[in-house]
């Protein structure tokens, strides 16, 4: 499809169930529009800095922490690339460091992404952080220069009881 609206789809992942679902949706769209997919994971160095300042992690260990986080990100990204949903698609991956929403918006611009598909919430961050700063998805929606599709976790099938009217 030469006039496909989504030639390049950026999928930020934090390896939570919600981001796995976002990748599944992005892969489905990529099959329809013959799109390229770019998986992005951002090692949140701001969170590491906060932990260090609070004394919950040693500043001298920061380089080792980053290296360990990048290693785990590479392993998890490989798992995603080997998934059934990704088979047969043109998929790349990037691992960056920084503030998640800043790096996502920047990557979308520099990589000329036409669509960002991401989980509506991730596996990190607490209520207090979200109250003051908003979720990463919310911040990306506000700052991205292209459409953003926020994917929730699929609803669990409800167990319904059948009422016998005899």
Structural domain spans, the chain: 8-151
The percentage of the chain sitting over the pLDDT mark of 70, rounded to a whole number, equals 77
The CATH T-level fold of domain 8-151 is Rossmann fold (3.40.50)
Residue 112: strand, helix, or coil:
coil
Dist. CA 142–CA 147, nearest whole Å: 10
Say yes or no to pLDDT of 132 above 50.
no
Tens-place pLDDT, residues 67-91: 999 999 999 999 999 999 999 999 9
Please name the residue that has the structure tokens 């160095």: 45
Q: Return mean pLDDT, the chain.
A: 84
Q: What is the pLDDT of residues 25-54, one digit of tens each?
A: 999 999 999 999 999 999 988 777 666 777
* CA 23 from centre of chain: 8
pTM of the predicted protein model: 0.82
Q: What percent of the chain has pLDDT over 90?
A: 61
**How many Å apart are CA 11 and CA 114, to the nearest integer?**
11
């Amino acid at each position: 499809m030469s006039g496909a609206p989504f030639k390049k789809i950026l999928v930020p992942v934090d390896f939570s169930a919600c981001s796995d679902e976002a990748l599944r949706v992005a892969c489905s769209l990529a099959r329809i529009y013959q799109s390229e997919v770019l998986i992005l994971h951002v090692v949140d160095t701001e969170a590491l800095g906060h932990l260090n300042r609070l004394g919950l992690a040693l500043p001298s260990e920061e380089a080792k922490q980053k290296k360990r986080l990048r290693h785990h990100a590479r392993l998890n990204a490989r798992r995603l690339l080997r998934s059934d949903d990704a088979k047969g698609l043109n998929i790349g991956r990037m691992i960056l460091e920084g503030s998640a929403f800043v790096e996502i918006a920047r990557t979308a611009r520099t990589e000329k992404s036409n669509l960002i598909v991401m989980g509506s919430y991730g596996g990190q961050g607490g209520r207090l952080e979200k109250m003051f700063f908003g979720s990463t998805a919310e911040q990306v929606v506000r700052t991205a220069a292209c459409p953003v599709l926020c994917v929730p976790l699929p609803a669990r099938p409800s167990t319904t009881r059948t009422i016998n009217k005899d």
